[in-house]
Amino acid sequence: SSELTQDPAVSVALGQTVRITCQGDNLRNFFASWYQQKPGQAPVLVIFDKNSRPSGLPDRFSGSSSGNTASLTITGAQAEDEADYYCSSRDSSGNEWVFGGGTKLTVL
């Protein structure tokens, strides 16, 4: 299997821009997807296919990728964006899913 590495915690001032990153060798071959999880809730897909958003998701969420690093950017972070964010992609075999350890985002 493969590993995806995320910073454990990131903070951002209300209304500012924050980038959450995810590193892993399999990201050279597979797009990352990003999931938001608020306390006591199930994860929700926020970014897929490198930079696509599910319908209804605010456009302040965007994704990008370069080499072995994928990024989730929140432009103008809101209080309701405070959550854990997980990246995920297929592993090197393409048969399994692997998740990053998650990044806890605090909006100050």
Q: Could you list the residues that contact another protein (CB under 8 A)? A: 1, 30-31, 33, 35, 37, 42-45, 48-50, 52, 54, 86, 88, 90, 95-102
Residue 27 CB, nearest distance to another protein (Å)?
12
Which CB sits closer to another protein, 63 or 77?
63
Write the burial class of residue 100 (CB in 10 Å: 0-12 exposed, 13-18 middle, 19+ buried). Answer: buried
Cβ-based nearer residue to another protein, 76 or 101:
101
Q: Which residues lie below 8 Å from residue 13, measured CB to CB, with a gap of 6+? A: 77, 107, 108
Tell me the two tokens of residue 82: 């405070």
